[in-house]
Chains A and B, each alone.
Chain A
Amino acid sequence: MTRTRTPGISRRSTLALMGAGAMSVAAPWVARAQAKTIKIGMPTILSGRVAQLGTSSRNAVMLEVEKVNAAGGLAGRQIEMVIRDSKGQPQEAARVARELVNTDGCELLLDGEASSGSFAVHEVARDLGVLCIHTCSEASSLTADPKQHIPNAFRCVRQGIHDSIVGGSYAAAIAKTKGLKKWATCSPDYAYGRDTTGEFTLYLKRFAPDVEIISESWPKLFQPDYTEVVTKILQAKPQALYSCLWGGDLTSYIDQANIYAMFSQMEVFAVNMADYTALTVVKNLPKGIHSGNRYIKTFPTTPENAAWGDAYKAKYNEYPTNWSWQNATAVMFLAEAAKKANSADGKKIAEALKGLTIKCPFGADGTVTMRGDDHTLVGYAIGWGTTIPQEPYVPEVKAGDWKTIFELEAEWKKSKGYT
Chain B
Amino acid sequence: MDLDALAGCLSSSACLVTQTTSGLIIGMLLFLVAVGLTLIFGVLKVVNFSHGAFYMFGAYFAMTAYQFTGSFALAMLAGAAGTAILGLIFERVFMSRVYGADVLMQLLVCYAFVLIFDDVVRLIWGPEFKAMGMPAAFQVMPLFIAGGVVPPYYLLLIGVALVAAIVLGAGLSRTRIGKVIRAAAHNPGMVSALGINTGLIYGGVFALGGMLAGLAGALAAPVRSLTPGMGFSVLIESFIVTVIGGMGSILGALIGALLLGLIRSYGSLGFPLFTEGLMYLFMVIVLVSKPTGLFGKEAA
Contact = CB atoms under 8 A, between A and B. Distances in A.
Greatest chain B CB density within 10 A among A55, A216, A228, A235 is at: A228
B133 interface: yes
Interface in A195-213: none
A216 B5 CA distance: 12
A252 B223 contact: yes
A313 interface: no
A47 interface: yes
Contacts of A235: 5, 9, 15, 18-19, 269
Interface in A45-84: 47-49, 51-52, 55
B282 interface: no
B269 A232 contact: yes
Interface in A257-282: 258-261, 277, 281-282
A217 B128 contact: no
Interface in B108-132: 127-132
A278 to B, nearest CB: 9
A223 B128 CA distance: 16
Contacts, number: 110
A416 interface: no
Nearest to A264: B141
B272 A218 contact: yes
Interface string B1-42: 000010001000001001100110110010000000000000
A58 to B, nearest CB: 13
A187 B194 CA distance: 59
A222 B233 contact: yes
A247 interface: yes
Instruction: Choose among B141, B142, B224, B265 the residue with the greatest number of A CB atoms under 10 Å from its CB.
Output: B224
Interface residues of B, number: 46
A223 B233 contact: yes
A217 B2 CA distance: 12
B224 A252 contact: yes
Contacts of A251: 129, 131, 225
B229 interface: yes
A259 B25 contact: no
B99 interface: no
Contacts of B149: 231, 234, 260-261
A284 interface: yes
B224 A225 contact: yes
Given A231-B22, A259-B153, A283-B134, 17 more contacts: A220-B276, A223-B233, A228-B265, A231-B18, A232-B269, A234-B149, A247-B129, A248-B225, A251-B131, A252-B131, A256-B223, A258-B134, A259-B223, A281-B225, A283-B133, A284-B133, A284-B134
Interface of B: 5, 9, 15, 18-19, 22-23, 25-26, 29, 127-134, 138-139, 141-142, 149, 151-154, 220, 222-225, 227, 229-230, 233-234, 264-265, 267-269, 272-273, 275-276
19 contacts: A216-B272, A217-B272, A225-B26, A227-B265, A228-B22, A234-B149, A235-B15, A235-B19, A252-B131, A252-B225, A255-B223, A255-B225, A258-B134, A259-B142, A259-B153, A277-B128, A281-B225, A282-B131, A283-B132
